[in-house]
């Protein structure tokens, strides 16, 4: 089919009686819509506009420890077409605050709503009314290179599947550098992540976690990688753990029957394989025996290795004999 034939076919279709009526309707509908839009934009409204505030003239020796850009919310009143320029144009995108005029002692600076209004008003149209500025005060923090490194800890709910437990947690990096006024640096001993929520996992879990922001503190880096290693929980026991006598006076020895006991506990499989009897300490206290003499003495689990739980002794009392040692 030739181009001329195609054009003729389309023309016949568009200008048939039915389609001609449709085109006429659409034309008047579009004209009505334009008039309605013009009337709407000519009405007066109040609109909230978000305005980014930048800090200028920051000395090279100073470091802002709060965000370099704050955002304020202003409410303005004007005709709709003018408000559109504030919402989608660049009129209010370059508001700068002079650092040197507002920085105070102690690493802190403040700008009041009145001062912000004075910066914004010249940017507005003569017909625009500035109704409100929020917040009523902007605060920024800075220092002159004071910093220190603090460890990172995770915050939140991280729990593996049933019968599993977290055997180890590693951080990369395991500490971050914080920049803040001296008073804040002294009070910070660690930095935590934002809230984590992971459950019902079995294999090692790797997470990229954001550091929780702190007012007036700059944190580098602000993201850390965390690995949660898991292990399977199992009920196990270690036999042959010797029982020691403590607080024994010179010249005396405590004989226990039996001299060794079994320790029961819950631990991960990997942890259990590394354990031995010497990792535990079971004791009997001479002072308790002396003050409460009886046929049997109490024994206590005094030391258990990291990574185990619900540790208990197979026996809680033993027969004993106190002997004098020949000098």
Whole-angstrom distance between the N-terminal and C-terminal Cα of the chain? 126
Q: Does residue 290 sit in helix, strand or coil?
A: helix
Q: Which of 161, 163, 152 is nearest to 207 (CA)?
A: 152
Which region among 98-112, 275-289, 299-313 has the lowest average model confidence (pLDDT)?
98-112
Going by the DSSP 8-state scheme, the letter that residue 132 receives in this structure is E
Which region among 141-145, 206-210, 296-300 has the lowest average model confidence (pLDDT)?
141-145
pLDDT averaged over every residue in the chain: 84
Looking at residue 280, its pLDDT comes to: 96
Sheet (strand 252-257) strand order: 252-257, 317-324, 296-298
Q: Can you point out the beta strands (E) in 160-213?
A: 164-172, 175-179, 191-199, 205-210
Looking at residue 264, its pLDDT comes to: 96
CB 173 within 8 A of CB 215: no
Tens-digit pLDDT profile for residues 133-142: 888 888 888 8
Q: How far apart, in whole angstroms, are the C-alpha atoms of residue 115 and residue 304?
A: 63
Percent of the chain with pLDDT strictly greater than 70: 86
Q: Which of 222, 208, 238, 209 is nearest to 311 (CA)?
A: 238
Alpha helices in the chain (DSSP H): 3-14, 17-41, 80-88, 99-102, 113-120, 182-187, 269-272, 286-291
Relative to beta strand 252-257, strand 308-313 is unpaired
Which helix or strand (DSSP H or E) is residue 185 part of? helix 182-187
Which tokens in the block code for residue 44?
Answer: 């007066």
Tens-digit pLDDT profile for residues 9-67: 545 554 555 556 665 656 656 665 555 555 554 577 788 888 888 888 888 888 888 77
Looking at residue 3, its pLDDT comes to: 53
Beta bridge partners of 172: 225
Q: What are phi and psi of 138, to 5 degrees?
A: -105, 135
Which of residues 267 and 16 earns the better pLDDT score?
267
Q: Does residue 228 sit in helix, strand or coil?
A: strand
Looking at residue 25, its pLDDT comes to: 58
Which region among 5-14, 256-265, 303-312 has the lowest average model confidence (pLDDT)?
5-14
Beta bridge partners of 205: 228
CB 296 within 8 A of CB 317: yes
The average pLDDT across 210-231 equals: 92
- Give yes or no for residue 248 having a pLDDT over 80: yes
- Give yes or no for residue 113 having a pLDDT over 80: yes
Which tokens in the block code for residue 57?
Answer: 């003239």
Distances (CA, A) of 239 to 36, 74, 259, 280, 298: 90, 73, 12, 11, 19
With cut-offs at 50, 70 and 90, classify the pLDDT of residue 6.
low
- Give yes or no for residue 240 having a pLDDT over 70: yes
The average pLDDT across 172-189 equals: 89
Looking at residue 204, its pLDDT comes to: 92
Looking at residue 99, its pLDDT comes to: 86
């Amino acid at each position: 089919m030739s181009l001329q034939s195609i054009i003729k076919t389309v023309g016949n279709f568009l200008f048939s009686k039915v389609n001609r009526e449709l085109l006429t309707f659409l034309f008047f509908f579009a004209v009505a819509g334009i008039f309605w839009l013009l009337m709407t934009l000519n009405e007066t409204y109040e609109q909230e506009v978000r305005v980014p505030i930048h800090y200028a003239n920051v000395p090279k020796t100073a470091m802002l420890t709060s965000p370099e850009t704050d955002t304020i919310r202003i409410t303005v009143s004007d005709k709709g077409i003018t408000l559109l320029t504030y919402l989608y144009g660049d009129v209010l995108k370059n508001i700068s605050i002079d650092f040197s005029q507002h920085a105070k002692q102690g690493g802190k600076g403040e700008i009041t709503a009145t001062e912000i209004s004075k910066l914004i008003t010249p940017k507005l149209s003569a017909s625009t009314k500035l109704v409100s500025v929020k917040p009523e005060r902007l605060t920024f923090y800075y220092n002159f290179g004071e910093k220190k490194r603090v460890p990172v800890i995770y915050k939140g709910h991280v729990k593996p599947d049933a019968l599993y437990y977290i055997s180890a947690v590693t951080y990369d990096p395991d500490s971050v550098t914080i920049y803040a006024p001296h008073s804040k640096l002294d009070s910070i001993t660690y930095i935590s992540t934002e809230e984590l929520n992971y459950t019902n996992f079995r294999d090692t879990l790797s997470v990229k976690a954001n550091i929780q922001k702190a007012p007036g503190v700059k944190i580098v880096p602000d993201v850390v990688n965390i690995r949660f290693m898991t292990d399977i929980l199992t009920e196990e026991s270690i036999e042959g753990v010797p029982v020691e006598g403590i607080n024994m006076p010179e010249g005396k020895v405590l004989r226990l029957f039996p001299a060794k006991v079994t320790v029961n506990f819950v631990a991960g499989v990997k942890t259990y394989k590394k354990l031995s009897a010497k990792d535990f300490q079971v004791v009997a206290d001479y002072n308790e025996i002396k003050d409460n003499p009886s046929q049997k003495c109490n024994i206590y689990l005094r030391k258990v290795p990291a990574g185990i739980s619900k540790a208990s002794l197979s026996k809680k009392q033993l027969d004993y004999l106190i002997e004098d040692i020949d000098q």
